[in-house]
């Protein structure tokens, strides 16, 4: 990993005048009962440059949401100044759109009507407005749901409507205020990748993204620069450039090392005045990191591999998604499962079979089980469960397995993870789960008669 530089707040005031959004020494106070004032932000200076993703990361209560509202002109600062392209901002930012964490949809309006709200303030004719709305809906993958109402949509689809509404005005800056916090883990991961793809492909006027989050993994996955805030009042502790190249993969050692580095900055009592040098990657240890498994049956992973094999063993991800006719985000999860198992790799937007994957496809059913078992034994979550049930004649109660999974992955849906564990473990002939007794056991090896 390349060197990580930490810049102090004072550097941010040196502006060349072409930033899409810029805060200069922003402070914000709120009046409270009795005439007292509560300081939410203090002396914050930052900028968003064209062509970058910036993440504001910090604990709850550090003023992240207040700051993004000030930058977009929805709230005035008590002190300091906000600029757009070097000019002081007056009123709402003309080239910024904001996506909220609670969707903010009108329940009595259809998808089309909710998206159209994003261009009501624009001086557009009916034809151009209709084209813009249709294009935004298509970009976020909601074609076919134009007449649906919010109550008929999943949480992920509701947030897609919110993103379409933000994009329909063709903003230069897309601001995301913890937009995935109300979604389940897998939906959030899929939608996070979709947002990055939209920005990278440049299908609209979008030039930069400003993301507000309290999740370190989310910041490291998306951001080119991470701005870390302290709380009480909110102030900038550090600005950390992200050295990881795209596409980024959560499971890599470099990714996890950088996550650990950001975590250390967030939890440090004092920030050194000198740049913090990155740690060298940790030596590989016998017990792998316990990570969540995508909620995808092994049969679907095999089906995806068959499709790849029929197309010279590699396809563009978006071609694969269209060809497989899977639900939105499902292809992403299936590819992730294939990566975890080592059956596919994803250089750029390409999904490619590995040598292991090709051998798996060519193998007989017993050989596939053996290969899959070998892969699963290298995964931290399976080592955890296998360690619990190994040597147990009576088996281990399902509740105990669920509690262990929840302890190691508290932010992930426990039932979904346990169901995936059972499916993958059975497919590999590693575990048996008796739904009647609710007991997990090691799978019994068949003994063939001579």
Please report, for the chain, the start and end positions of each structural domain, with discontinuous segments joined by +.
Answer: 9-267, 298-442
End-to-end CA distance of the chain: 56
In this predicted structure, the answer to whether residue 130 has a pLDDT above a threshold of 80 is yes
Buried b (16+ CB within 10 A) or exposed e, 29-42: beeeeeeeeeebbb
If we measure between CA atoms, which residue out of 302, 327, 324, 294 comes closest to residue 427? 302
pLDDT band of 411, cuts 50, 70, 90: low
Contact of 37 with 43, CB cutoff 8 Å: no
Written as six digits, the tokens of 5 are 């530089």
Contact of 37 with 207, CB cutoff 8 Å: no
Averaged confidence pLDDT in the chain: 79
In this predicted structure, the answer to whether residue 254 has a pLDDT above a threshold of 80 is yes
The strand order across the sheet containing 314-316 reads 314-316, 350-353, 344-345
Cis peptide preceding 395, ω within 30 of 0: no
pLDDT of res. 360: 92
Chain-centre distance for alpha carbon 7: 25
Residue 248 phi, psi (nearest 5): -100, 145
pLDDT band of 276, cuts 50, 70, 90: very low
Cis peptide preceding 92, ω within 30 of 0: no
**What pTM, to 2 d.p., does this model score?**
0.57
Q: How far is CA 171 from CA 118, 159, 174, 196, 199, in A?
A: 10, 18, 7, 15, 11
Whole-angstrom Cα distance, residue 440 to residue 279?
40
Summarize the chain as % helix, strand, coil (round to 5): 40, 20, 40
Per-range mean pLDDT, top range of 12-26, 268-282, 386-400: 386-400
Whole-angstrom Cα distance, residue 168 to residue 442?
54
CA dihedral for 360, 366, 369, 375, sign (positive or negative): negative
pLDDT in tens, 170-197: 888 988 888 777 677 677 777 777 777 7
Contact of 253 with 235, CB cutoff 8 Å: no
Pick the more confident residue, 111 or 35: 111
If we measure between CA atoms, which residue out of 230, 225, 241, 240 comes closest to residue 48? 225
| CATH topology for the 9-267 domain | Rossmann fold (3.40.50)
pLDDT in tens, 312-348: 999 887 788 777 766 546 777 888 888 888 899 887 6
Sorted by sequence, the CB contacts under 8 Å of residue 9 that are 6+ apart come out as 43, 44, 45, 235, 236, 239
pLDDT of res. 325: 66
Angle (CA) 207 190 430, round 5°: 150
Written as six digits, the tokens of 275 are 């740049």
Chain-centre distance for alpha carbon 111: 24
- For domain 298-442, which architecture applies? Orthogonal Bundle (1.10)
pLDDT of res. 203: 66
């Amino acid at each position: 990993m390349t060197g990580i530089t930490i810049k102090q707040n004072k550097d941010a005031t040196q502006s060349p005048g072409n930033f899409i959004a810029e805060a200069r020494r922003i402070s914000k106070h709120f009046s409270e009962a009795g005439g007292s004032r509560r300081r939410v932000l203090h002396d914050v200076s930052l900028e968003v440059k064209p062509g970058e993703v910036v993440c504001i990361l910090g604990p709850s209560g550090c003023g992240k949401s207040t700051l993004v509202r000030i930058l977009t002109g929805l709230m005035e600062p008590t002190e300091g100044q906000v600029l757009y392209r070097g000019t002081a901002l007056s009123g709402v930012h003309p080239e910024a759109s904001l996506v909220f964490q609670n969707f903010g949809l009108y329940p009595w309006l259809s998808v089309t009507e909710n998206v159209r709200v994003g261009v009501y303030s624009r001086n557009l004719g009916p034809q151009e407005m209709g084209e813009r709305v249709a294009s935004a809906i298509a970009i976020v993958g909601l074609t076919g749901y134009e007449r649906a109402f919010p109550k008929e949509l999943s949480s992920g689809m509701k947030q897609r409507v919110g993103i379409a509404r933000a994009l329909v005005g063709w903003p230069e800056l897309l601001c995301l205020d913890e937009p995935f916090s109300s979604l389940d883990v897998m939906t959030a991961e899929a939608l996070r990748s979709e947002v990055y793809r939209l920005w990278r492909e440049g299908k609209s006027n979008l030039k930069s993204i400003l993301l507000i989050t309290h999740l370190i993994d989310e910041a490291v996955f998306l951001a080119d620069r991470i701005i870390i805030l302290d709380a009480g009042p909110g102030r900038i502790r550090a600005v950390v450039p992200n050295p990881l190249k795209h596409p980024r993969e959560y499971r890599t050692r470099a990714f996890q090392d950088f996550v650990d580095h950001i975590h250390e900055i967030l939890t440090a009592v004092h920030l050194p005045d000198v740049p913090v040098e990155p740690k060298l990657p940790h030596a590989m240890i016998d017990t792998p990191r316990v990570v969540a498994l995508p909620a995808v049956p092994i049969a679907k992973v095999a089906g995806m591999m068959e499709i790849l094999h029929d197309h010279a063993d590699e396809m563009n991800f978006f071609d694969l998604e269209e060809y497989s006719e899977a639900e939105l985000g499902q292809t992403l999860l299936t590819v992730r499962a294939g990566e975890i198992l080592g059956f596919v790799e994803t250089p750029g937007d390409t999904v490619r079979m590995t040598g292991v994957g090709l051998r798996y496809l060519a193998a007989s059913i017993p050989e596939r089980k053996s290969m899959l078992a070998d892969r699963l034994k290298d995964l931290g979550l399976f080592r955890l469960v296998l360690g619990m049930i190994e040597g147990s004649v009576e088996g281990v109660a399902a509740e105990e397995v669920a509690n262990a999974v929840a302890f190691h992955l508290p932010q992930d849906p426990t039932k979904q993870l346990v169901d995936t564990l059972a499916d993958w473990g059975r497919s590999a002939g590693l575990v048996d789960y008796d739904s009647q007794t609710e007991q997990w056991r090691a799978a019994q090896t068949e003994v063939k008669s001579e």
